[in-house]
Amino acid sequence: MRIAFLTAPEGVEQVELTEPWKAVKDAGHEPVLVSTKSGRIQAFDHLDKADTFPVDAVVDDASPDSFDALVLPGGVANPDFLRTDEKAVAFVGAFFEQGRPVAAICHAPWTLVEAGVVRGRVLTSWPSLRTDIRNAGGVWVDEQVKVCDHGPNKLITSRKPDDLKAFCETFLDVLAA
């Protein structure tokens, strides 16, 4: 399976990109780094610059049809940048329209709110997004990982880096089903 990892050019929390990436790759799937600009993305370890990673595809040219699932890593700045990019928001929305699995961790549900796909869904996130999710019609829960089956696709969400093991295992279970 080809799995899109959507990030902004900078601001992604490195561990929230690298741990799911490794899990997907180790399970025999193909992770693809999609961003709003070509070149390399700048990851962060909280507020400190970390490593850079090469972009495989630009969201302007990437078709959601060519992917089996989507991962939205967090970091505070990453989803904030993504939700202001029309094509990135449309890219995310297309996965919901097509009934494909979407996994989002930490602050990443901000992009889901902007895509208008939260209403009626139960999800978790970094606690500061609770009001945004509720205002968008979602139900926020404080759980390590939450799978929501509302609609044709599965939405997998987690709160923070400490939840990555459960997040990755649950996402891989959904892909295998």
**Catalytic site positions:** 107
Is 2 in contact with 66 (CB distance < 8 Å)?
A: yes
Joined tokens for residue 73: 């890593």
Residue 72 is classified by DSSP as E
Burial of 39 (0-12, 13-18, 19+ CB in 10 A): exposed
Alpha-carbon span 139 to 122, nearest angstrom: 5
Residue 69 is classified by DSSP as E
Residue 25 is classified by DSSP as H
Strands (E), the chain: 2-7, 10-13, 30-35, 40-45, 48-54, 57-58, 69-72, 102-105, 122-123, 139-140, 145-148, 155-158
Give residue for tokens 């595809």: 57
